[in-house]
């Protein structure tokens, strides 16, 4: 006679977990790869098409412009948003590669500008291929207290000589926040701004919940240190990129930090509101 004993609850839950984990690993890598390919292939709408982009557009119209994603890309983005919280909670970020390529050449640190000014910051124009006039965000305007630039404790004060140990988990968390906005060779300012705008939107769609949580935690830390000051009115999250130059290039061995604002938090009653940086206009706008 066969054993007709029904499976226990623990066995069912274990089976569900195994099936979910297998789906998570396969879908995270497959659909994540599709998203990465689209991000790297994205070109401005008015850019001169190349042979490669023409071929891709013939097979998948709108793919290189981030438009007309279709059912496959819509599914990929939905799966990615569903998988990322699980990946972050369990420490299973599927960010691996057989070769490091150019990824190791750009190191990005989060930074914060805390201001006591009520008004929105002035526009931050793109000055050249790598620089934004981000320092105008430190203008105190009508506020009595000057804005303060808060750097990550993991950003070295001297990039030519430094050593880091401890707080590895926090460094890994900050790595999940980073966004390397790298100039594209041959792109005009307008084309570069359009590319960066798409990258910021994609980054916030996938990891925006981590960025907002990071800013809220940092606010509590800073308010405990600034007990004698009134509550700040705004907080701006920065991406500070340091680029390592090729070995055959003349010193210095690195350039930067190249700074781009990412997110503005207007601290009002309740949660306030978050605005994303728009490189096309140099201003902050609605996240959606």
CA 81 to chain centroid, in Å, comes to: 14
Q: Which pLDDT belongs to residue 90?
A: 78
Query: Tokens standing for 28?
Result: 């995270």
Element (H, E) at 283: strand 283-286
Is the pLDDT at 239 greater than 80? The verdict is yes
The DSSP element (H or E) to which 133 belongs, if any, is: none
Q: State yes or no: pLDDT of 170 exceeds 80.
A: no
Residue 235: DSSP 8-state: E
Question: Are 275 and 263 within 8 A, CB to CB?
Answer: yes
Phi and psi for 236 in degrees, rounded to 5? Answer: -115, 125
Beta strand 106-115 with 234-244: parallel, antiparallel or unpaired? antiparallel
Over residues 248-274, the mean pLDDT reads 84
At 188-235, the pLDDT tens digits run 888 888 888 888 988 888 788 888 888 998 988 888 888 888 888 899
pLDDT at residue 1 greater than cutoff 60: no
Average pLDDT over all residues of the chain: 79
27 touches 83 (CB < 8 A)? yes
Q: Which residues pair with 115 in a beta bridge?
A: 234
- pLDDT greater than 80 at residue 183: yes
Q: When comparing pLDDT for 286 and 102, which is higher?
A: 286
Band of pLDDT at residue 113, cut at 50, 70 and 90: very high
Q: Enter the pTM of the model.
A: 0.70
User: Domain limits of the chain?
Assistant: 1-96, 100-288
Give the percent of the chain with pLDDT over 90: 8
Q: What does the pLDDT read at residue 102?
A: 46
């Amino acid at each position: 006679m066969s054993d007709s004993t029904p499976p226990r609850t623990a066995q069912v839950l274990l089976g569900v977990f195994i099936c979910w984990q297998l789906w998570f690993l396969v879908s995270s890598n497959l659909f994540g790869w599709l998203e990465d390919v689209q991000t790297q292939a994205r070109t401005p709408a008015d850019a001169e098409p190349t042979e490669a982009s023409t071929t891709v557009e013939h097979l998948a119209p709108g793919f290189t412009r981030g438009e007309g994603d279709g059912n496959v890309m819509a599914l990929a983005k939905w799966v990615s948003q569903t998988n990322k919280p699980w990946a972050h909670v369990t420490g299973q970020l599927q960010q691996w590669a057989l070769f490091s390529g150019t990824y190791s050449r750009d190191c990005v640190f989060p930074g914060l500008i805390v201001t006591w000014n009520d008004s929105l910051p002035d526009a931050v124009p793109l000055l050249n291929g790598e620089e934004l006039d981000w320092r105008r965000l430190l203008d105190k305007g009508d506020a009595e207290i000057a804005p303060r630039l808060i750097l990550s404790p993991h950003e070295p004060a001297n990039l030519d000589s430094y050593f880091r140990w401890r707080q590895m988990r926090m460094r890994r968390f900050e790595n999940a926040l980073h966004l390397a906005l790298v100039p594209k060779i041959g792109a005009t300012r307008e084309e570069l701004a359009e590319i960066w705008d798409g990258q910021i939107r994609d980054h916030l769609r996938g990891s925006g919940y981590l960025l907002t949580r990071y800013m809220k935690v940092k606010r509590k830390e800073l308010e405990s240190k600034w007990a004698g000051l009134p509550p700040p009115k705004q907080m701006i999250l920065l991406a500070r990129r340091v680029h390592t130059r090729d070995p055959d290039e003349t010193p210095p061995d690195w350039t930067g930090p190249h700074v781009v604002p990412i997110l503005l938090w207007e601290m009002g009653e309740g949660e306030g509101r978050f605005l994303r940086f728009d490189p096309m206009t140099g201003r902050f706008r609605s996240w959606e």
